């Protein structure tokens, strides 16, 4: 059951206001994981 679709602006605002800290921590972890895995992989 749904009435209206949310506007694009609302969605973008929601993207930055919904759990901003969680997003930042997740980004930090993603960067760390990427560099760790990259370091573990054998160089061609």
Partner 1 sequence: MHNILFYCRLTTEITILWFVIYQIMLFFEGTRGSQVLRGIIMLFLAFFIFQKFNFTVLDWLLQKLFGISVIVLFIIFHPEIRQGLAKLGKRRIFNVNLKEVELDLMLNEIGKASENLSHIKIGALIVIERHDPLVSYLQSGVNIDAYVRSELIQAIFTPNNPLHDGAIILQHNRISSAGCILPLTDKQEINRLFGTRHRAAIGLSEETDAIIIVVSEERQDISLVYKGRLYKDLGQEELKIKIKEIFKIK
| In the complex, minimum distance from the CB of residue 36 to partner 1, in angstroms, rounded to a whole number | 6
Smallest gap from residue 42 Cβ to partner 1 (A):
16
Rounded Cα distance between 2 and 22, Å, is 28
Residues at the site binding partner 1, with contacts judged by CB under 8 A: 1-6, 19, 22-23, 25-27, 29-34, 36
Which residue, 19 or 43, has its beta carbon nearer to partner 1?
A: 19
Distance from C-alpha of 13 to C-alpha of 21, rounded to nearest angstrom: 15
Tokens of 13: 């605002």
CB of 17 to partner 1, least distance (A): 13
Instruction: Kindly state the DSSP code that residue 16 receives in the 8-state scheme.
Output: H
């Amino acid at each position: 059951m749904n009435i209206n679709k949310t506007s694009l602006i609302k969605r973008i605002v929601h993207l930055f206001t919904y759990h901003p800290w969680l997003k930042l921590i997740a980004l930090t972890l993603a960067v760390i994981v990427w560099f760790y895995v990259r370091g573990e992989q054998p160089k061609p």
